């Protein structure tokens, strides 16, 4: 029998009990959106990246958009982790992300022009990440057109078709592009022919695409590695890792308002599968909650406002999509939604963003319960007709009717704003750790 070396054991009642090696004490910190996205995760990640060594994206593609303001300059990220602005921080695009290479290089160029420097030395891309091709984006648009009035309001960035290719196992990964190019070519031709049979009107310049991707292979090769091995080695050596979730829990393919969702798991499970990290390595899970609620695209939205207040939130909050430029639908804070996503994600703390957008309101409502057929329900409906039929029970609290934009300490918040924050903490039984009152990283109140 082979002997076991370098393990620990102890005798208990004469039995040999194996004790596993010590786990790293530096658990991974995760930032997740707690509503329908656009909560301000990018700013939170940018702030936390100042004390992190590595920042990772674990799922989604360039359908997500995070805005980070540094020294008055506005950077827009779609595929890049928001922490890439920090020159002391390595950025990782994990295996669960789907990557449109033309979009990635365009994003890098745009942010370089705004002053982002040295990214070549601190960007790592997983060899297991799947590629989004222009053909996927065309198919996305054609599928939406076919649905007509039942369209889902996708970003048409090809995300759904790419994850579909991944699931049906005719997807193409970064590693395929960097391997034998003849095999890559064969896979690409097969993929294109498959889609052309499904959509006869589809036009694909296969030869032109192959020429482009030969060039992309050379450009991206220095950035690619096995990120699973890399991350585990770095964590074992004591490096601090931060994970930036894209999209948000209510857009999760399993737990969101299906089918009005994205095509990936943007809840806590996506962190494990999208980076190859086991649950035991996850420590703090920070849920990012906007002080009101917004969503882009179609689907039920119980607390949506169609009145002057809704328009005020749109105007004051500059509520339009970073990726699509579509106007966001706005409504009151829905704590039923946040409680549900907290159940799924296990938030250890919260960051409440855009509190300052509520500054001018004399009264503020908060959704605290759902009723169906006049009776309170204790679950979040999975059926969209049912969710569309709920009646929201609100509590009304006084506003503070003064500016909070310059406040940097909790003690200086107006008492009514304190009360609003306390309602959220008490209802969810989760502490609010950060409060955002403006765009820049300096506009965050550290409650802890």
Query: Can you say which residues are annotated as belonging to the binding site?
Result: 37-43, 63-67, 155, 169, 247, 262, 322-328, 354-356, 436-438
> Binding site for substrate, residues?
322-328
> Binding site for GTP, residues?
37-43, 65-67, 328, 354-356, 436-438
Active site residue 176: no
Structure-token match 């790592």, residue found: 124
Q: How far apart are the first and last CA of the chain?
A: 54
- Write down how long the chain is: 448
For residue 82, give the nearest of 103, 102, 111 by alpha carbon.
111
* Cβ partners under 8 Å of residue 318, min gap 6: none
Cα separation, 99 vs 162, whole angstroms: 9
* Cβ partners under 8 Å of residue 399, min gap 6: 358, 359, 360, 361, 362, 363, 364, 416
Cα separation, 416 vs 364, whole angstroms: 10
Active site residue 375: no
Q: Which of 38, 176, 252, 334 is catalytic?
A: 38
Alpha helices of 199-267 — where are they, by DSSP H?
206-220, 227-236
DSSP letter for each residue of 419-442: HHHHHHHHHHT--EEEEE-SSSTT
> Binding site for IMP, residues?
38-41, 63-66, 155, 169, 247, 262, 326
Q: Which of 78, 136, 157, 166 is catalytic?
A: 166
Phi, psi of 398 (to 5 degrees): -70, 140
Tokens of 229: 């091995």
For residue 130, give the nearest of 171, 185, 191, 181 by alpha carbon.
171
> Binding site for Mg(2+), residues?
38, 65
Q: Which of 66, 100, 156, 240 is catalytic?
A: 66
For residue 122, give the nearest of 237, 223, 241, 228 by alpha carbon.
223
Q: Collapsing DSSP states into helix, strand and coil, what is residue 173? A: strand
Cα separation, 202 vs 213, whole angstroms: 20
How many helices and strands, by DSSP H and E, does the chain display?
13, 22
Active site residue 38: yes
Structure-token match 């991206």, residue found: 220
For residue 384, give the nearest of 297, 260, 272 by alpha carbon.
260
For residue 326, give the nearest of 38, 67, 79, 90 by alpha carbon.
38
For residue 262, give the nearest of 97, 383, 394, 110 by alpha carbon.
97
Residues classed as catalytic = 38, 66, 166
């Amino acid at each position: 029998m082979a002997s076991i070396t370098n393990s620990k054991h102890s005798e208990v009642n004469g039995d040999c009990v194996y004790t596993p090696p010590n786990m790293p004490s530096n658990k991974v910190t995760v930032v997740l959106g707690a509503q329908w996205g656009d909560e301000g995760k990018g700013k939170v990640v940018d702030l936390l990246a100042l004390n992190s060594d590595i920042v990772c994206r674990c799922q989604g593609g360039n359908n997500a958009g995070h805005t980070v303001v540094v020294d008055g300059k506005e950077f827009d990220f779609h595929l890049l982790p928001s922490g890439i602005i920090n020159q002391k921080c390595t950025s990782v695009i994990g295996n669960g992300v789907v990557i449109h290479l033309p979009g990635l290089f365009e994003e890098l160029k745009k942010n370089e022009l705004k002053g982002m420097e040295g990214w070549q030395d601190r960007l790592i891309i997983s060899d297991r990440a799947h590629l989004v091709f222009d053909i996927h984006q065309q198919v996305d648009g054609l599928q939406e057109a076919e649905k007509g009035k039942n369209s889902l309001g996708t970003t048409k960035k090809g995300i759904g078709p790419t994850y579909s290719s991944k699931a049906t196992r005719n997807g193409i990964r970064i590693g395929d592009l960097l391997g034998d190019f003849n095999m890559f070519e064969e896979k690409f031709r097969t993929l294109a022919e498959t889609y052309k049979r499904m959509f006869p009107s589809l036009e694909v310049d296969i030869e032109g695409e192959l020429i482009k991707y030969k060039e992309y292979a050379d450009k991206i090769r220095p950035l690619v590695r096995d990120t699973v091995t890399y991350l585990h080695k770095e964590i074992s050596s004591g490096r601090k890792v931060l994970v930036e979730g894209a999209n948000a829990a209510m857009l999760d393919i399993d737990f969101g308002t299906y089918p009005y969702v994205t095509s990936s798991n943007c809840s806590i499970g996506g962190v494990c599968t999208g980076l190859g990290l086991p649950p035991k390595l996850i420590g703090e899970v920070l849920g990012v909650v906007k002080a009101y609620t917004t969503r882009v695209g179609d689907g039920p939205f119980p607390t949506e406002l169609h009145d002057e207040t809704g328009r005020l939130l749109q105007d004051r909050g500059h509520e339009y999509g970073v990726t699509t430029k579509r106007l966001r639908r706005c409504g009151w804070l829905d704590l039923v939604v946040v409680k549900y996503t907290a159940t799924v994600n296990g938030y250890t703390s919260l960051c409440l963003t855009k509190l300052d957008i509520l500054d001018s309101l004399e009264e503020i409502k908060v959704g605290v319960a759902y009723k169906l057929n006049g009776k309170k329900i204790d679950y979040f409906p999975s059926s969209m007709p049912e969710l569309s039929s709920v009646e929201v029970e609100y509590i009304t609290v006084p506003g503070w009717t003064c500016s909070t934009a310059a406040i940097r300490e909790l003690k200086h918040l107006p008492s009514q704003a304190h009360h609003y924050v306390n309602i959220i903490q008490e209802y969810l039984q989760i502490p609010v750790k950060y409060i955002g009152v403006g765009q820049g990283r300096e506009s965050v109140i550290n409650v802890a």
